[in-house]
Structure 1
Amino acid sequence: MKWEDLRRSKNVEDRRGQGRSSLGGGMGSGRSGGMGSNLIMMLLMSKGKFKWVLIGILLIFLLGGGSSLLGGNQSPNQTYDDSGVVFEDATEKAGSDSQITDKEGQFLSTVLASTEDYWTSKFEEYNLVYKKPKLVLYTEGTMTGGCGFGQSSAGPFYCPGDQSVYIDVSFYRELANKYGAPGDFAMAYVLSHEVGHHVQQLLGTMDDYQKIAQQNPGAKNELTVRLELQADYYAGAWARYADEQGILDEGDIEEALQAAFSVGDDTLQKESLGYVVPDSFTHGTSKQRQEWFARGYKHAGDFQEADTFNRDI
């Protein structure tokens, strides 16, 4: 991807190096555990009759949820509210574009800016206003503004509560080395997929998903697959825009398709379990993820064609 001379987004907050210093990040971290594990141990040793209730509340607080590329232990159907988390001013804490000097951070900032340009224009076609999401770069784990404590082990994820995408940049290398999807546009696909979840949030798709999943818990996995495939469609739509802007290199689309294949439920389960459990799928098969990315590219983001909830997938 020809990105070096492109505009970079100002909607980036860099928390890398802060590690697990936020409340909630202490569970299982460091030599002595941390605040989360210490509080639980204190409650376990206490004799109060309400200690188990308090432990439950603490765990709910520490283990939040978002919509992740890989699934992990997060859930996009959580009810989100204002957690009271106040982010530090980006101009004062390495969050502005001018202070991000590493190549990976600058690259992600550029991709985010390109998605901003595309979705602003696409929303205007439908007489809608696109509210730009924030990209938070972090290391190991960080507190979100509505989805609890986010951890890099879950992969990149989107939090509807604060309308932010969270990425541990180490996933850039993990995508190539662990998942067999090298190349800068493979990572661009990852970010554009998470931005696709932001589009769903703005259009009300996530709210509709939540309501239906709560009414019919047995259909939750299938609904989640449809939600994720739609985000892949939106990623493909942005890729078409980037291609038309003349900023893609030869082989970039193939890199994105390989990334989509690598994070398919069936591929991940075969590698980790040695077999496949279709009823447990939450993101779609490798073939489905590739197909819906390709559809988004083909139809240039047409919202009617994006309706994964009323089409065969």
Structure 2
Amino acid sequence: MRLRNIRGSRNVEDRRGRGGGAAVGGLGIGGVLLVLAIGYFTGIDVTPLLNGGAPQSQSAEPRELTPAEKQAGEFSARVLATTEEVWSDVFPDSFGGPYDPPTLVLFSGVTSSPCGGASGATGPFYCPADEKAYLDTEFFATMRSQLGAEGDFAAAYVIAHEVAHHVQNELGILGEVNALRQRSSEREANALTVRLELQADCLSGVWASKVQGLMEKGDLDEALNAARQIGDDTLQRRAGRVPQPHTFTHGTSEQRQRWFATGFDSGDPQACDTFGTDTL
């Protein structure tokens, strides 16, 4: 992805370097990221794998960011800027109102959010309570080395996906789905969450369609591969389990790829109505 001449967004809150990252249950942060990335994307209870899961003490002393962390931060800020430009144009045309962009919180190890404690282990997530997306940039390395999702556009897709949840929040979709989930059985709640996540994948595809001028050869394949690698069925198989559709919370690899492609091919968020179709 060609980002050299793209400005960095000012809507970035960088909490990295404010203290040492915590280790959990004797695992280094890389190990925690791998185990809980799988748990995050599949709904698997990975607590036993973390030997208790309580964060160990961490240093409050600030530290210098590594060159890799600085590069990841600059990359994230520039990708976020592209989402701001895209949705500031698309949102009013599609939904008739202005777009208010989210803040991206970069952290290392552990941090806090109104939605609960956050760690690199939880994977990237969006918190509607403060309208912020949370990302431990070490997750990019986990994607490459452990999840088989290589490439800068795969990493950009992760950011675009969390921003897509903010778009859903701006439209009131997150609140509606949450209210429905609270009145539903676990199986029904999971099914609603799948539709929510697939819609975010589709909206990510809409973003990608609007930044094609920045894309390089192979970028689209990187995003589609990332979607495939973090499908519920693929991650459950990787965890040594037989896929159990009733536990899915993000959709199958095929579904995630197809809905991203739907957004990319159409460039239209109206094509992303995963709640109005019987076929996901």
Q: Same fold (TM over 0.5)?
A: yes
1:8 is displaced (CA, Å) by: 1.1
The alignment status of 1:225 with 2:191, answered yes or no, reads: no
Q: How does the TM-score come out when normalised to structure 1?
A: 0.73
Q: Which residue of 2 aligns with 1:122?
A: 90
One of 182, 201, 208 as aligned partner of 1:214: 182
The aligned amino acid for 1:130 is Y
Per the alignment, residue 257 of structure 1 pairs with 224
| Residue of structure 2 in register with 1:310 after alignment | 276
Secondary structure, aligned partner of 2:272? coil
Q: TM-score, normalised by structure 2?
A: 0.82
CA distance in structure 1 between the partners assigned to 2:166 and 2:135 by the alignment? 14
| CA-based RMSD | 2.5
Aligned to 2:233: 266
Q: Deviations over 1:33-86 (max 9, x none)?
A: xxxxxxxxxxxxxxxxxxxxxxxxxxxxxxxxxxx9736689xxxxxxxxxxxx
Question: Shift of the alpha carbon at 1:131?
Answer: 0.8
2:172 to 204, 207, 229: 204
DSSP 3-state at the match of 2:269: coil
Offset at residue 123 of structure 1 (A) = 1.4
- Alpha-carbon contact 1:69-1:193 (below 8 Å) kept: no
The number of residues matched between the two structures is 246
The residue identity in structure 2 corresponding to 1:70 is: F
Partner residue of 1:159? 127
> Greater Rg, structure 1 or structure 2?
1
Letter aligned with residue 310 of structure 1: G
- What's 2:13 paired with? 13
1:161 is paired with a residue whose SS is coil
Q: 1:72 to 1:142 in 2, by over 3 A?
A: farther
Q: Show structure 1 runs of 4+ deviating over 6 A.
A: 25-30
Share of identical aligned residues, percent?
Answer: 42
CA pair 105-72 structure 1, distance change in 2 beyond 3 A? farther
* Secondary structure class of the residue paired with 2:10: coil
Superposed, which structure 2 residues align to 1:17-166 within 5 Å?
A: 17-19=17-19, 70=41, 102-125=70-93, 126-144=95-113, 146-166=114-134
Q: 1:173 to 1:26 in 2, by over 3 A?
A: closer
Alignment-mate amino acid for residue 153 of structure 1: A
